[in-house]
Amino acid sequence: MPKVSDAHREARREQIVQAALGCFVEKGFHRTSMADIIAASGLSAGAIYLQFESKQDIMLAAAETTISHRIGEIGARLATPPFPDPDEFVELVLGDIGDDAPKPQLLVQLWGESFFTDRLGDMVDGVFMRLRSTVTGYLTQWAVERRGLDADAAAAWGRETAPAMLSLLQGRILQSTILADFDADAYRAAIRNLFP
């Protein structure tokens, strides 16, 4: 039997993850069955189970892949002038982030599920720690460039302000999911009011 290359294995995993994300967005995590994911992927059950033991494993892989990719994109954008203001940063993190990213309602489902599943809870904690680090670094740099603080004062301000910025990010996810009349432009304007 010929060996399967790493690239082929990775392509299969990605195919499965994308099919699962489509199902999760359409039906929700709980109402999606492995049979749904198998049908959406176009692969056999055996091909799916060679890669993942459960739909929870697929969700974990999808979240980790998406977050790692997104944090990489954020780092690249922050290294390219002009440096974004906070309202632009929120959109950079959560706005139009492409087809490979979970939809806001899927993120809310993931948060809820994390209370009941240790592995998901650990993953969500890890994601928030990485995001907090990214936000703190962003705010520190913004404070140097836009507020004229020295490096030490900017670092302290960034650490102190990061929890509020994380709340703005989480709030945007929740509001865009729950509120039928959510206005992204008005949300950005409100952030500009907070960070003049």
Share of the chain above pLDDT 70, in %: 93
CB atoms within 10 A of CB 178: 11
**May I ask the CATH class of domain 55-194?**
mainly alpha
Which residues neighbour 175 within 8 Å (Cβ) at sequence distance 6 or greater?
182, 187
Residue, of 117 and 20, whose pLDDT is higher: 20
pLDDT in tens, 156-181: 999 999 999 999 999 998 898 889 99
The whole-number pLDDT of residue 97 equals 43
Per-residue confidence at 26, pLDDT binned at 50, 70, 90? confident
Is residue 37 within 8 A of residue 55, CB to CB? The reply is yes
Is residue 41 within 8 A of residue 77, CB to CB? The reply is no
For CA atoms 87, 75, 68, 98, the dihedral sign is positive
Please give the CATH topology (third level) of the domain spanning 1-52.
Arc Repressor Mutant, subunit A (1.10.10)
Annotated domain spans of the chain: 1-52, 55-194
pLDDT in tens, 110-143: 788 788 888 888 888 888 898 899 999 999 999 9
Residue, of 70 and 136, whose pLDDT is higher: 136
Tell me, yes or no, if the pTM score tops 0.85.
no
Which residues neighbour 188 within 8 Å (Cβ) at sequence distance 6 or greater?
87, 88, 90, 91
